[in-house]
């Protein structure tokens, strides 16, 4: 296909999406929830077909030498499919944000002003090899009253196509248009470019993936972008930490699922507890197969610790690796985090209220965990149903983005013949 023909296909899909968005904008909660429940049931009923498509993607990824961490993101099993199908049911159970009155008042001149949540319109998703994003994004956008154009990666093309086909078939059996959810081909990179430059047809683009993808979308898009960031997440073990708790938090944050953006990539330990904690955490992390890239204290404690560089402290590993350092104070921990953090999630383990408050106000990230794993920066875990991504920017949305973050607002002003 030529670049112009690819552009034509993307724009044609966007025009169909705008028509569908017009229907969704006035759809009732009952209509949207019924569609979500039908899509959920259909995903479960078609698990075998979805898994068969996923096998093709995983086989191709292994053949091309894709790393185990990326294959973990790509690979589906019955549990994972049921999990994102359940996510659709969870979204159906949530209140509908559309029509919510954000604020309102009667002005001194008698005009009644209301700021009301309304759908975005058409949302483009550009994302890498995580097929669960396909279902999550479709469900969140639909419940928030918007049509979605899904441009996944070629590495997950078979999986995404199977999931989208199942959801579109389910939508066809409802009162909502199937074009509420559409796939943009990943056969050519230019399809992503045309999607993010379809200003006037697409209202918002959300990239979800690695740093390179996000940077490309932010730099090349002419459509407004919500930037979802990479996750160089830190765990800081304070002088007043319960060390048993700290060990549990570090292990969960690093090893529970190392290939995701809310996994811990960096560990900081206050010097007051370093003698007691550093040997324990090294032994525990090594037991779980984690390679530690440490400072002088960590290296001196165990011969298998790799000497850390500045690049190590700045790296989102997405693997069983972690950078580690001992700091002299909580302020030094905060300074380190401000240099190296991606602004995603930071965690502190401490029994000191003053320390937790200092940490919360000192770091500059979308989420801060106090005595809890970084793995809780997740829409489902925080009660949003599913999420469309973790925003690390500061405009419009920050942190896990659920239904509310996928809406904008309109001001409705009611008078009785008022003139100015």
Interatomic CA distance for residues 135 and 164, integer angstroms: 8
- DSSP bridge pairs for 118: 408
Position 395 in a domain: no
Reported as a single tens digit per residue, the pLDDT across 196-234 is 999 999 999 999 988 888 889 999 999 999 988 788 999
Are 88 and 140 in the same domain?
A: yes
On whether residue 384 sits in a domain, the answer given is no
Same domain? For 21 and 163 the reply is: yes
> 3-state DSSP call for residue 225?
strand
Residues 89 and 29 grouped into a single domain:
yes
One domain for residues 301 and 177: no
Strand segments (E) across 194-344? 204-208, 233-237, 264-270, 291-294, 306-307, 321-327
**Does residue 125 fall inside a structural domain?**
yes
Q: Would 48 be classed as within a structural domain?
A: yes
Q: Are strands 112-119 and 122-127 parallel, antiparallel or unpaired?
A: unpaired
Q: Say whether both 84 and 159 belong to one domain.
A: yes
239 and 154 assigned to the same domain: no
Same domain, 410 and 316: no
Do both 256 and 185 map to the same domain?
Answer: no
In a domain, 420, yes or no: no
Tokens 């320390």 identify what position? 355
Q: Which domain holds residue 164?
A: 3-228+401-414
CATH code at position 276: 3.40.309.10
Beta bridge mates, 234: 266, 346
Question: Do 213 and 357 reside in the same domain of the chain?
Answer: no
Task: Please list the ranges in the chain whose pLDDT falls under 70.
Answer: none
Whether residue 178 is found in the same domain as residue 268: no
**pLDDT tens digits, one per residue of 78-97:** 999 999 999 999 999 999 99
One domain, residues 170 and 290: no
Whole-structure pTM value: 0.88
| CA–CA separation, 362 and 358 (whole Å) | 6
Q: Examine residue 392 and state whether it is found in any structural domain, yes or no.
A: no
Residues 155 and 26 in one domain: yes
Number of domains forming the structure of the chain: 2
Q: Considering the domain boundaries, does residue 320 fall inside one?
A: yes
Give the pLDDT of residue 219. Answer: 93
**What is the CATH classification number for the domain harbouring 405?**
3.40.605.10
Residue ranges of the alpha helices (H) in 144-270?
157-172, 190-196, 211-220, 243-255
Is 390 domain-assigned?
Answer: no
Counting beta carbons within 10 angstroms of the beta carbon of residue 9, is it exposed (0 to 12), middle (13 to 18) or buried (19 or more)? middle
């Amino acid at each position: 296909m030529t670049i112009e023909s690819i552009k034509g296909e993307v724009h044609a899909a966007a025009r169909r999406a705008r028509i569908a968005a017009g229907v969704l904008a006035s759809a009732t909660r009952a209509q949207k929830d019924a569609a979500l429940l039908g899509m959920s049931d259909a995903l479960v009923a078609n698990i075998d077909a979805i898994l068969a498509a996923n096998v093709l993607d995983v086989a191709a990824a292994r053949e091309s030498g894709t790393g185990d961490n990326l294959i973990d993101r790509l690979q589906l099993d019955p549990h994972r499919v049921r999990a994102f199908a359940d996510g659709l049911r969870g979204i159906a159970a949530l209140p509908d944000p559309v029509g919510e009155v954000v604020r309102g008042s009667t002005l001194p001149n008698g005009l009644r002003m209301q700021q009301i949540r309304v759908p975005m319109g058409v949302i483009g998703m550009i994302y890498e090899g995580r097929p669960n994003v396909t279902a999550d994004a479709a469900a969140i956008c639909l419940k928030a009253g918007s049509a979605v154009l899904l441009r996944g990666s070629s590495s997950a093309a078979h999986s995404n196509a199977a999931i989208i086909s199942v959801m579109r078939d389910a939508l066809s059996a409802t009162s909502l248009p199937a074009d509420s959810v559409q796939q943009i081909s990943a056969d050519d990179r230019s399809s992503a470019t045309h999607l993010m430059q379809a200003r006037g047809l697409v209202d918002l683009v959300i990239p979800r993936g690695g740093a390179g993808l996000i940077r490309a979308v932010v730099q090349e898009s002419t459509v407004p972008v919500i930037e979802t960031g990479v996750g160089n997440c830190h765990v800081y073990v304070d002088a007043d930490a319960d060390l048993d708790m700290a060990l549990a938090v570090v292990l969960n944050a690093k090893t529970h699922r190392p290939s995701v953006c809310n996994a811990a990539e960096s560990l900081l330990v206050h010097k007051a507890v370093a003698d007691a904690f550093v040997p324990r955490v090294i032994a525990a992390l090594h037991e779980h197969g984690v390679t530690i890239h440490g400072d002088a204290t960590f290296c001196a404690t165990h011969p298998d610790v790799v000497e850390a560089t500045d690049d190590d402290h700045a790296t989102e590993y997405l693997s069983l690796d972690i950078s580690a350092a001992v700091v002299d104070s909580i302020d030094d921990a905060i300074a380190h985090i401000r240099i190296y953090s991606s602004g995603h999630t930071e965690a502190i383990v401490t029994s000191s209220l003053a320390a937790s408050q200092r940490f919360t106000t000192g770091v500059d990230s979308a989420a801060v965990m106090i005595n809890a794993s970084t793995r809780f920066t997740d829409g489902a875990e925080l009660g949003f149903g599913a999420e469309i991504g973790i925003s690390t920017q500061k405009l419009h949305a920050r942190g896990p983005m659920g239904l509310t973050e996928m809406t904008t607002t309109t001001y409705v002003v009611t008078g009785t013949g008022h003139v100015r």
